[in-house]
Structure 1
Amino acid sequence: MKFLIKTQRGMEAVAANYIKDVLEDAKVWIAPQGYSGLVLVETEDKDAEQKLFDIPEIERVIPVLFEVPATIEDILSVSEQIAAYIKEGESFAVKTKRRGKHEFSSVDVNVALGGKIKELTNAEVDLTFPDKAVLVEIIGDRAYISITGKEEWKKFTPEKIDARKLFKKVTIVQMPYWGDYKACRNFGEKIGRAAQAFEVRELIIAPKEKMDAYELMEFIKGVKIGQESRHQIQREAYPWKVEKVPVSVWDLYQVIRDKRRNKRLLIITDPKGHSVSEVKENLAKDLYYAKEVVVFIGSSEGIPRGLFRYADYVIDLAPYMTFATEHGIPAALIVLWTIYEEELRKKGDNV
């Protein structure tokens, strides 16, 4: 039996040494044809797959069912044998990873082999959550073909509720950091990155009083730098279009006046507030029905106490702890999402 092992890049030699320890008869090829993060293993041990899974340096163990020359014609030559693994009523997808130079693309393989399997089985193609995945791993002039079930670890699954259901209606009101110019910019970068990471509705930078214009300028520059860097990563990582979070500047007291007047849900995070467990039942319902959720987060100083009476909730995210300025946005939004998700599941709203 042959296995294609995947590891973190640079860890293939470490994994190979452990493989030799647990599979005495194994023939091992490290980084075949120079491709890092891969190990090919051939063994007669019937318990090999489980033994390989017990090595933490190994990320994926792919049993090779078919090995053929790396041409579309040769790959299609085993399509009938592949089709035998897909039962009636199951969905499937062909996923090809191509390494090396070839006269065809990965998409060409997916289309050709996927079409042949559909013709043979009449099974439905599901590129997102297939019951069976046909993996075609091409390394130079050889193609290694495997068939797996549903992935255990996956970013996007039907069971997970999209967190953007909440975050797209959250406005963050962040007091700016002030002081040393370099520190202002550093904190601004972290806050801009955090706001963009959660794709909130808006980030409002809200000084509570007159402050040094150049300190504020450095903070805002930092916000822009942090936002840009995170947005670039999102564009590359997500299969959907990600918009930049709008950023504005507004006096803190005017923000709370305006949002209160327009009946938005106002939440202030402060160590003097109620613990989350005390208010989560009512807060969950209010989060669910709110058109906009406005979360106020302090900086070098907390939110002025005089504003507490205008808030719907003043919550202490972690009693007896005070968060660093750059941790305010992630801590608040993760807590609110946990509460909100419970409410969605109660209502059966998981779309």
Structure 2
Amino acid sequence: MIFVKTQRGMEYIAAQNIKELINDVKIEVRPAGYLGILIVHSGELEQVRQVPEVERAIPVLFEIESSLSGILEKAEEIVKAMGEFDTFAVRATRRGLKHRFSSMDISIQLGKRIQEMSGKDVDLNSPDKAVYVEVVNERTFIGILDGAEERRKYTPEKANSLRFFEKVSFVQTPYLENLKGAREIGERIGRNAQSFEIKELIIAPYGYVDAEELFEFLRGVRRGKLSRLSIQRRSYAREVRETKILVHDLFQTLRDKKRRKNVVIATDPTGKQISDVRDELKRAFERANEIVIFAGSRTGLPKGVLRLADFVVDLSPYITFPTELAIPVSLTAFLDIYEEMKAERSEREQ
């Protein structure tokens, strides 16, 4: 038996494609009415995995009645079935309203039992073995996958981009045109800043600005940030860094950020293309305590800021991108350079 997960709405398409590969196979589509799952009564795991609509195919070791005690009683057999491993994780999903236990109860208590019996460590990000407990009303399916079979967001081979973003201070001149436009653009900027979890976003007007427009822009920034932050806290299995939002005069911000171990970058169409300063940026990033990126809005950055910046970079020659894209375009471009610098330094140290 194989417990199959699909995108919601793709269950019948996946089932039809599985039947084309495996003749006369019995498939339960949307058991108990739950979207996104199939139960395939076959042992042809590799055939099932050939179907692109299949997100995950879990070979079922045990099907039992749904109770926490019944699940925990299987711990010894689960450990035996896991074979050789150093680390493991329990992934539990409970479907149904009448159970007196939660997915978290399964994960914690079964994980504790397996740890006590095996003496191995829990690793939620890169386990050698992953135990899946899929509860569908009164039926519970238990299976095991090798860690290599999981498509994981975080692996030891991937660079941790947060190490770069926690150094970034992004200085944005406000977008002030009309109340509605200021609020909408502000919301997108706030959402983008929080998405990357940068150290701080500094809204930096200069000269006289319309108070009502600035108020609407800042309100939008705050709303966008909080909207994204709430999603991150629900979605991530790690602590989320909340991006600070500050307001300061543009020229005073430049004076404050021009320190010995800071790198000040201005983004502007008059600058050099990024490939021309790539090596210089890598050397600067290697010594930087803070990476300060200035971005203009409708009228661009003042010439004095461009003159005093360490680098003036044209991120997209011959293209002027919208104000709200300054954060994602800048950060993804400079992250690539930062990770290349880290990789080269690691090679030198070996």
State TM-score, norm by structure 1. Answer: 0.89
Match of 1:54 in 2: 50
Secondary structure at the aligned position of 1:95 is classed as: strand
Aligned pairs for 1:130-145 (under 5 A) are 130-145=127-142
- Residues 158-307 of structure 1: pairs in structure 2 closer than 5 A: 158-260=156-258, 264-307=262-305
Indicate the percent of aligned positions where both proteins have the same amino acid. 45
- Partner of residue 68 from structure 1, selected from 64, 67, 72: 64
Deviation, 1:298, is 1.2
Aligned residue in 1 for 2:320: 322
Cα distance change on mapping 1:15 and 1:202 into 2, 3 Å: same
Offset of 1:115 from its aligned partner? 4.7
From 315, 330, 333, the equivalent of 1:332 is: 330
Deviation at 1:3? 1.2
- 2:103, 2:246 → 1: CA distance? 44
Q: Distance in 2 between matches of 1:328 and 1:299?
A: 9
Q: Shift of residue 202 of structure 1?
A: 1.7
Distance change in 2, residues 1:280/1:180 (3 Å): same
Q: Tell me which moved more, 159-168 or 174-183.
A: 159-168
Deviations 1:18-62 (A, max 9, x none): 223332211111111121111111136xxx333322322221111
Residue 88 of structure 2 corresponds to which residue in structure 1? 92
Contact 1:267 1:313 in 2 (8 A): yes
Q: Structure 1 pair 197/77, CA: closer, same or farther in 2 (3 Å)?
A: closer
Shift in Å at residue 326 of structure 1?
0.7
Unaligned runs of 5+ in 1: none
Query: What is the SS of the residue equivalent to 2:270?
Result: strand
Deviations 1:135-157 (A, max 9, x none): 12121222211110114421222
Alpha carbons of structure 1 residues 147 and 272: separation in structure 2 relative to 1, 3 Å = same
Instruction: From the superposition, tell whether residues 275 and 136 of structure 1 become closer, same or farther in structure 2 (CA, over 3 Å).
Output: same
CA 1:27–1:108 in 2, change beyond 3 Å: closer, same or farther?
same
Distance 1:239-1:94 versus aligned 2 partners, 3 A rule: closer
1:214-239 deviation line (CA, Å, top 9, x unaligned): 22222111111111111111221223
Which residues of structure 2 form unaligned runs of 5+? Answer: none
Partner residue of 2:24? 25
Query: What code does the residue aligned with 2:11 have?
Result: E
Tell me how far apart the structure 1 counterparts of residues 333 and 279 of structure 2 sit (CA, whole Å): 13
The offset of 1:107, in angstroms, is 4.1
- The structural deviation recorded for 1:109 is 3.6
Q: Contact 1:276/1:317 (CA < 8 Å) preserved in 2?
A: yes
| CA distance in 2 between partners of 1:120 and 1:192 (Å) | 48
Pair 1:71–1:296, CA change in 2 (3 A): same
Structure 1 residues 110 and 296 mapped into 2: Cα distance closer, same or farther (>3 Å)?
Answer: closer
Distance 1:111 1:246, change over 3 A: closer
Deviation at 1:196, TM superposition (A): 1.4
Distance 1:196 1:117 in 2: 38
How much has 1:120 moved relative to structure 2?
4.7
1:39 paired to 2:35: no
Cα gap change, 1:106 to 1:219, in 2 (>3 Å): closer
Which stretch has the larger CA shift, 89-98 or 323-332?
A: 89-98
Aligned-pair CA distance for 1:16: 2.1
Q: CA 1:160/1:176 → structure 2, altered by over 3 Å: closer, same or farther?
A: same
Query: 1:86 touches 1:121 (CA, 8 Å); kept in 2?
Result: no
2:293 partner SS = strand
Change in CA separation of 1:179 and 1:127 when aligned onto 2, cut-off 3 Å: closer
Q: Deviations over 1:308-345 (max 9, x none)?
A: 22111111112222211111011101111111111122
Retained in 2: the 8 A contact 1:92–1:133? Answer: yes
Moved more, 175-184 or 261-270: 261-270
